[in-house]
A and B are shown apart, each in its own frame.
Chain A
Amino acid sequence: MWLSRLSTAALLLLVLVLPVLAGTMDDYHEAIQTLRCDCGCHPQSIEACACGRADQLRDIIRGQVFGSDGNEPMNAQEVIALYVAEHGEQIRIAPAAAGFNLLAWLGPLVGLVLGLLAAVALVRHLASSRQPAVADGIPGGSAPEIMPGIPSDDPYRQKLQKQLEEWE
C-alpha cells in the first residue's frame, strides 16, 4: 500500500517538476522561429523553411527541447546558445538586440524619428517659403490660383473647386 502511495507521489512530483525542467512546446517554437535553416536557400527560419534540411533540424531541436535525444532537456535559450556557439551569430534569423547589432533594431526607429523631424521641417519650410521670381527657372506650376484672396470656405469658391475637380 505504502509502495503504491509512494509511486503515486513520485509520479505526481514528476508531473509537476518535469515542465519546469524540460522544454515546452513554446521553447520548441521559439527555437525554430529564432534559428535559421542552414540549407543555403532563402534566409528562412527553421520553422518556415520547406527544405528537407529544415525537416531534419526540426526533429533534432524537438529532441533537444524535450530530451528525447537522450540528453538533458533544454529550454529555447539554451538551444539557441548551443547553435550560436557552433555556427556563429549568423545562425539567428535576425541578430540579437545586443551590442553593435542593437543598431539593426534601433536604426529604423531612429530613422523614423529623424524622418518625422525632417517632415515637420520640410512642411514648415514649404509653408513659409516666399513666392519666387519667375526668373528662377522655367515655371513649373500649372494649377491656377482660384480666386486669390477669397477664403477657401467661401461657398462660391467651393462650388467652382468641385466642378473643376469633376472635370479635371
Chain B
Amino acid sequence: MRDLTITLGHYGLFLALATAGWSALAAILGATNRGKGLQRSAEHALYATFGLTFLATVCLVSGFLIDDFRLDYVYHYSSSSQALPYKIGALWGGQAGSLLLWALFLTGMGALMVATNRRKNRALMPAATAVIGGISVFFMILLNYFEPPFATSAARIDGVGLNPQLKNYWMMIHPPTLYLGYVGFTIPFAFGIAALITRRTGDIWFRTTRRWTIFSWFFLGTGILLGSYWAYIELGWGGYWAWDPVENASLMPWLTGTAFLHSVMIQEKRGMLKVWNVLLIILTFSLSIFGTFLTRSGIISSVHSFATSQIGPAFAVFLAIIVFGSLLLLISRLPNLRSEAKLESVLSRESSFLFNNLILVGIAATVLFLTTFPMLSEAVTGRKVTMGPPIFNLVNVPWAIVLLLLAGIGPLIAWRQASTENLKRNFIAPALAGIWVFLLLLALEPRTYLDAFTGTFKSLFTLQVAPMFDQVKTFYPALTFGAGVFVLATVCQEYWRGMRVRMHRHKESVALAFSRMIWRNKRRYAGYIVHVGIVVIFFGIAGSSAYQTETQRLLEPGGYVNIEDYLVRYDGYRLEAVDDHIGAVTMLTVFDRGSGKELGSVEAEQRFHPNMQVPQLREAFHAARAQGVVGHSEYEESVAALYPLIQRLEGSYRREVKTPSTEVGILASISPFDGTRFGEDFYVIPLGVDPATGRANFRVFVNPMVNFIWFGGLVFVIGSLISILPDARERRRLEASMAIEERHVA
C-alpha cells in the first residue's frame, strides 16, 4: 500500500507534466488552421492535469497520515507525535509540498476556467488555455526534476517535525489562502495575454475575469491579514507587520491588483488606460511569481545561496520569460490599445483613479526596491545589509495616508469633469467631518503637536531631513483618523442618498432599502463596504502604532503589578508535556486599576520542543507525556525533570536540543461596553519561566485599537464576498460587450 501511494504520486506528476505540455501545444495548434478541433483536446488535457495533480496531492497527504518516513518530505516536516491537523498542514510546510499545492490550485483553476467558458469566449480561449498549460508545465518540471515531493531514502524511525512556530491553527489556513490569491491572478493574466495575442483588446477579457480578479485579490488580502494575525499571536513581539520579505512578497501583487481593480473601471466607462490595464495585470501576475521566487529560491538569505539553490535559477528564467515575453507582446500590440477618449480635467474621477493607481504602484515599487536592495547591496559591495521596518515606514506611511484620502474622493467625484456643484454637494460635509476630527486630536495634545510643528520647521530650515521626518511622524495618527473619518462620511452619505431614493420611490423601510440597494448594485455598494474595512484597518494600525506601551516585569507567583490602567496578579503556573512540547503555562488575572473590577484571566506559555532525534530526550519526553494528568504530582515532577535533562544534554552535545517558542496570552477588549478600552489588547509574553519556582519574566504590551485591524479585516471580507457574488447587471454588460464584438468581427 505504501509503495503504491509513492508510485502513484510519482507517476501522477510525470503524467501531469505530459498532459500540461499537450494542453499548451494543442491549444496553440488549435488556434491555427492546421489544428482545428484540437482546442477541445487541449481543454480536456487541462482537466486531466488537474486530476493527476490532485491524485499526487492525495498520495503525499496519505504519506503524512501513515507516517511514511521513507519519504524525505514527510521525514523533514512531520513526526509520529505531530497532531493530525499539523500532519495535513505539513503538506505546505516545505518547498516541494508548497509547489505541489501551488500546482494543484493552478490546474484546478485552469479546469474551472475551461468549465465556465465551454460555450463562450471561444476566440480568447485557445490563447488563455495555452498560457495556463505553459505555466502548469513550468510547475510540473519543478515538481518532477527540481523538488520532487516523492523522493525517498532508507526507512527512519521518526521524523524531524514541523517548525514549532508553524504549529498554529492559522497555519492551516494562512498559506493556502495566500496561494489561492497568488495563483488566482493567473486567470486574468491568461485572458489579458489572450486579448493581446488575438488583438481583441476591448473590455471582454477583464469583464470575463472580473470575478476571478476579485476572488484572487480577496484571497491574497485575506491571506495577508491572516498572516498578520498569525504573526501577532504566535511570534510574540507585540506587532503584526515587520516588512519581512515574505510579507512584502504578498503585499506587492495585492497592491498592483488593487490598482488594476480600480483602473479597469476607467476602461469600462471611458475606454481609456488600455495599455495601463494590461500592464497592471502583467505586473500583478509577475509579482505573484516573483513573491514565490523570493521566498522559495533562498535569495533572501544570500545571493550565494540563490546561486547554489536548485529552484532559484529556474524561477529566474521563468520570471524573465513571463516579464519580457509579455512586455514584448504588449509593445507589439500598442496600436490596438489606443485610448478611446481623452482626459477632460484633472478634477475628475479618471484622474483621481489615476493618482490612486500611481500611489499603489509607487508603494509596490518602493517595497520591491527596498526588499531586493540587500541582494543588490551584497552583489555590489559584497556586504549584506538589513532592511528593517523604519526605512519602509518612512516612505510608505505618508503615501498610504494620501491613498486613504483618495478612497474618499475617487468614488464620489464626477466622471469627465467635476463641476463646482458636484464638489460642494459631495465633499463639503465629509471634509468638515475629517477636518474636525483632525483638529480635535490636535487639541487633545496641543503641546506635543506644537512642539512637533515647530520642530519640523526648525529641521527643515537647518536641512536636517531625518529629524524632520521624525517630527512629521507625530502627525500621522491624527492625519489618518482625519482622512479615515472623511472616507467614512463620504460612504455614509452615499448610502444614505441611495437609500433615501429607494425609500421615497419604492416606499421601502430603511433595512429593506439598505439590503436591496446593495443587492441591486453589488459592485458599487460592496466596494464602499471594502473601503470602510480598509479605513477601520487604518484606524487599528494608527492607534496601535502610536499609542502602544511596553513593560517588562519579573514576578513571583502571587505577585501583583500595575501596568497602565490594569492591575495584574500572577496567579501561578503549571508544567505540562503535550503533543510534541513541554510547556510552562503561566496564569494571570487582570483587573481594572481604578475600580479593582476583574476583567478576565490570561494564560501565556513558554514552550520547548525537544529534538526527537536525541534518543534519551525522546524517551524521557514520551514517558512524561504518557502520565499526562495535569495537577498530578508525579506527572509534574517528570515534566520538571525534563528541564535539567535538556540542560545536561545541551552541555554534552554542545548544541541546542530544543526549539523554544511562546504562546502569547491576550486579553482582548472587543465589547463596545469596554469603554475607552474598546479594541485594546492586554498582551503578555513570558520571556522566561523558572520551572522550579515559577518566577517569570513577563513582557507586557498594551495595544490600543489593535483589534480594529481584525474588525476591519472582517468588514473587508464581507464587502469582497458580496462583490464576488454573481451580478445580473455585470452579466448583461458582458453579454452586451460580446454582442458588440461579434458584430464588429463579423
Chain A residues close to B by CB (< 8 Å): 33, 36, 41-45, 48-52, 55, 88-95, 99-101, 103-105, 107-108, 111-112, 115, 118-119, 122-123, 126-132, 134, 136-143, 152-153, 158, 161-162, 165-168
Contacts and interface: CB of A to CB of B under 8 A. Distances in A.
Given A55-B697, A129-B342, A166-B501, A138 B202 contact: yes
Contacts of B386: 36, 43, 90-95
B458 interface: no
Interface in B345-396: 346, 350-351, 354-355, 358, 362, 365-366, 369-370, 373-374, 377, 380-381, 383-391, 395
A158 B417 CA distance: 11
A93 to B, nearest CB: 3
Nearest to A128: B342
Contacts of A91: 386
Residue in B239, B355, B373, B685 with the greatest tally of chain A CB atoms within 10 Å: B373
Contacts of B553: none
A129 B268 CA distance: 18
B237 A41 contact: yes
Given A126-B342, A138-B204, A141-B269, A50 B385 contact: no
The 9 lowest CB-CB distance pairs between A and B, nearest first, are: A138-B202, A141-B271, A93-B388, A126-B343, A50-B237, A42-B242, A143-B269, A140-B271, A95-B385
Contacts of B354: 119, 122-123, 126
Interface stretch (B113-121, B251-259, B625-633, B736-744): B736-744
Contacts of B369: 107-108, 111
A106 B620 CA distance: 57
A111 B365 contact: yes
A140 B267 contact: yes
Nearest to B396: A108
B58 to A, nearest CB: 35
Nearest to B274: A140
A48 B545 CA distance: 12
A141 B385 contact: no
A55 B295 CA distance: 29
Given A50-B238, A94-B390, A142 B268 contact: yes
Residue in A95, A153, A165 with the greatest tally of chain B CB atoms within 10 Å: A95
A22 B481 CA distance: 41
Contacts of A122: 354
A165 B493 CA distance: 13
B416 interface: yes
B723 to A, nearest CB: 16
Residue in A89, A108, A166 with the greatest tally of chain B CB atoms within 10 Å: A108
A118 B501 CA distance: 42
A148 B169 CA distance: 59
17 contacts: A45-B390, A50-B236, A52-B688, A93-B386, A93-B389, A94-B386, A101-B377, A108-B366, A118-B358, A126-B350, A138-B740, A141-B269, A143-B270, A152-B416, A152-B419, A153-B421, A161-B414
Given A52-B660, A127-B342, 13 more contacts: A44-B389, A55-B552, A111-B362, A111-B369, A119-B355, A122-B354, A123-B346, A126-B354, A138-B203, A139-B740, A141-B269, A143-B269, A162-B422
A104 B387 contact: yes
Range of interface residues on B (Cβ < 8 Å): 35 or more
B381 A100 contact: yes
Contacts of B237: 41-42, 44, 48-51
A102 B25 CA distance: 49
Interface string B706-746: 00000000000000000000000000010001001100100
Contacts of B343: 123, 126-127
A168 B524 contact: yes
A91 B685 CA distance: 25
B602 to A, nearest CB: 16
A94 B387 contact: yes
Contacts of B417: 152
Contacts of A141: 267-272, 340-341
Contacts of B498: 166
B316 interface: no
B162 to A, nearest CB: 17
A2 B386 CA distance: 58
B200 A94 contact: no
Given A101-B377, A141-B340, A165 B414 contact: yes
B2 interface: no
Interface in B275-328: none
A138 B737 contact: yes
A42 B235 contact: yes
B339 interface: yes
B338 interface: yes
A55 B204 contact: no
